[in-house]
Amino acid sequence: MTDTSTPRRPRIHAAEEELVPRFLVRLIFALLAMIVGLVAVSTMTDRPLQSTPPTAAVISERAILLSGEMSGAARVLDVNGTLLADLSPEKGGFVAGIERVIARERAKAGIDMAAPVLLQLRAGNRLSITDPVTGWSAELMGFGASNTRVFARLLDQP
């Protein structure tokens, strides 16, 4: 039987073996302070970016016009107005997403939405899309093989 005459006192502190050592907590805070300090110094001194991909020679390039819908459907035209791809919502979600990013960048800059973007194959088999109007660009290899393949097919079409 249990003794109910004395009320149970809640434990205020954890058992000694459950505590994180004080020096580890101080070390974590010191590390966080160093990171914040490095970021602040780098930002204030306008240090150039160092982890940007190297600029490689352009092997193949095509100017395309993108249009997309929120459903994921997308259409891709060349600069002459020839239809290159009419993608369903299941197949065109990535293309429509890229189009929305470009539209947002152009809207921020107050630039015409109808200008073409450049789809470029660079040395080292690097596929990228560049908006020459705003200067925005993206390396497509970072978005997975199936998404990159959609744009690679556009580059190969006559």
Q: Could you give the angle at the alpha carbon of 37 between the alpha carbons of 36 and 42, nearest 5°?
A: 100
Which is nearest to 119 in space by CA: 109, 108, 132?
132
Is residue 7 predicted with pLDDT exceeding 60?
yes
DSSP state of 6: S
DSSP state of 47: P
pLDDT attached to residue 122: 83
Q: How far apart are CA 64 and CA 80, in angstroms?
A: 9
pLDDT attached to residue 127: 84
Is residue 102 predicted with pLDDT exceeding 80?
yes
Output the average pLDDT for the chain.
82
Q: How far apart are CA 123 and CA 138, in angstroms?
A: 15
C-alpha count within 13 angstroms, C-beta hemisphere, residue 54? 5
Count other C-beta atoms under 10 Å from residue 126's C-beta: 18
pTM for this entry: 0.61
* 66 strand-pairing partners: 76
